[in-house]
Amino acid sequence: MQSKLIDLHGRTIDYFRISITDLCNFRCIYCRPAEGVPLVSHSDILRYEEILRIAKVAKNLGMRKVRITGGEPLVRRGVLDFISRLVSETGLEDVALTTNGSKLQDMALSLRKAGLKRVNISLDTLRRDCFRSITGADELYRVLKGIEASLDVGFDPIKINVVLLKGINERDVPDFARLTIDKPVDVRFIERMPFGAEIPPPNSPDSFSAKDTLKIIESAFGKLNPVERSKLDGPATMFKLDGALGQIGVIDPVSGHFCGKCNRMRLTAKGFLRPCLLNPLEIDVRTFLRTSPDDSQMESFLEAAVLMKPASRFSNIEKIDVGMNTIGG
Ligand code: SAM
Ligand code: SF4
């Protein structure tokens, strides 16, 4: 089927990142504003039924992949049933989840049974103290158990996302790279994006670059072997250490430019479509959902939103005054 979701710059938009909550059990220093997040009334958050309706309409227009995110998606009540319905009722090719991993030890098996095939886990350090100072939670052990549980139930691929934090986790880079040797996990290092809503340096650090990360790995392990891109890699450039089971990737939203290939649209937990992560434009789909029961009108709404996708990101992302927990990472 020819996709109907093609923007004014010729990009086919087939990847929908849906935030189901802006609540989170962690307080990562680079994600949540210093003063905390304003409480959102329950009625302002999209109901699962409403998200399913948008996802079905989007799928009929050509959306192929949905990633569930947040806040922390696994803290929202009813998430297992929701994912099961998302998989079985929409017919989407690919449903994925991004999580901080803290609940996976208990939920991995149920998520697998609900039909989820793959998972991204965010983890920035393998040291307990450092983990606590980044997230505000003493839960490194639980996250590591969550990764084990994900391997046990057969999620494939399992991607571990590491945000690069200058002066904080450079020394974890070789240990993360080593993880890929004997575990079938892909570790992806991501430059930290300096959204304006967060705690300014020095309490919330700058990024170090994807390039420097590769240098750290090569000086510890020798030359990295480039891996041909697969369609699951998104904007990551992938490598492999000799004989490793998993891969290593770098994503450079700060130093690199991948707007020209962007295939994404976001839906915030409050029901706003965000055509570009790094642009403050948001379109209120919640009011539309709650006033128009007509799915053909919803189709036109989504098509119009895709046409509003900017050609490239806002040049001054420090001015974007919300964090990823609100936008949906
Ligand atoms: N709570 C879940 C988690 O942590 O995986 C899902 C939501 S979180 C907002 C999604 C991803 O965004 C995480 O991998 C997190 O590390 C990343 N993230 C948050 N703020 C970021 C920033 N300023 N720069 C780069 N990545 C960021
Ligand atoms: Fe929560 Fe994820 Fe943001 Fe950390 S990165 S505060 S776990 S939403």
pLDDT at 60: 95
The overall average pLDDT reported for the chain is: 91
Is residue 74 within 8 Å of 103, Cβ to Cβ? yes
* Closest ligand 1 atom, residue 19 Cα: 7
Report the distance separating Cα 54 and Cα 57, nearest Å: 5
* Closest ligand 1 atom, residue 198 Cα: 23
Report how far ligand 2's centroid is from the alpha carbon of 251 (Å): 18
The DSSP result for 262-275, as a single string, is --EEEE-TTSEEES
The b/e string for 91-114 (b: 16+ C-beta within 10 A; e otherwise) is: ebeebbbbbbbbbbbebbeebbeb
Report the distance separating Cα 26 and Cα 72, nearest Å: 8
Report how far ligand 2's centroid is from the alpha carbon of 71 (Å): 6
* Closest ligand 2 atom, residue 25 Cα: 1
Examine the pLDDT at 213 and tell me if it is beyond 90.
yes
Nearby residues of 228 by Cβ (< 8 Å), 6 or more positions away: none
List, for residues 19-76, the tens digit of each pLDDT value.
Answer: 999 999 999 988 876 667 777 899 999 999 999 999 999 999 999 999 999 999 999 9
Report how far ligand 2's centroid is from the alpha carbon of 25 (Å): 8
Q: In what order do the strands lie in the sheet with 237-240?
A: 225-226, 237-240, 248-251, 185-191, 158-164, 118-122, 94-99, 65-69, 15-19, 264-267, 272-274, 283-284
Report the distance separating Cα 58 and Cα 36, nearest Å: 33
Map residue 189 onto helix, strand or coil: strand
Q: What is the mean pLDDT of residues 184-189?
A: 97
List Cα–Cα distances, 139 to 99, 132, 256, in angstroms. 14, 7, 32
List, for residues 124-147, the tens digit of each pLDDT value.
Answer: 999 999 999 999 999 999 999 999
Report the distance separating Cα 166 and Cα 306, nearest Å: 35
pLDDT band for position 300 (cuts 50, 70, 90): very high
Closest CA to 163 of 45, 29, 46, 273: 29
Q: What is the mean pLDDT of residues 281-299?
A: 94
* Closest ligand 1 atom, residue 191 Cα: 25
Phi, psi of 75 (to 5 degrees): -90, -10
Q: What is the mean pLDDT of residues 269-283?
A: 92
Starting from the CA of residue 135, give the closest ligand. 2
Share of the chain above pLDDT 90, in %: 74
Beta bridge partners of 251: 190
Report how far ligand 1's centroid is from the alpha carbon of 324 (Å): 6
Q: What is the mean pLDDT of residues 111-134?
A: 97
- State if residue 67 touches ligand 1 by the CB under 6 angstroms criterion: no
Domains identified in the chain and CATH numbers: 15-327 (3.20.20.70)
pLDDT band for position 328 (cuts 50, 70, 90): low
Q: What is the mean pLDDT of residues 75-96?
A: 96
Starting from the CA of residue 120, give the closest ligand. 1
Phi, psi of 163 (to 5 degrees): -85, 130
Ligand 2, atom 8: closest residue by C-alpha:
71
- State if residue 70 touches ligand 1 by the CB under 6 angstroms criterion: yes
Report the distance separating Cα 224 and Cα 221, nearest Å: 8
Examine the pLDDT at 260 and tell me if it is beyond 80.
yes
List, for residues 36-49, the tens digit of each pLDDT value.
Answer: 777 789 999 999 99
Is residue 109 within 8 Å of 149, Cβ to Cβ? yes
Report the distance separating Cα 97 and Cα 75, nearest Å: 13
* pTM for this prediction: 0.94
Share of the chain above pLDDT 70, in %: 90
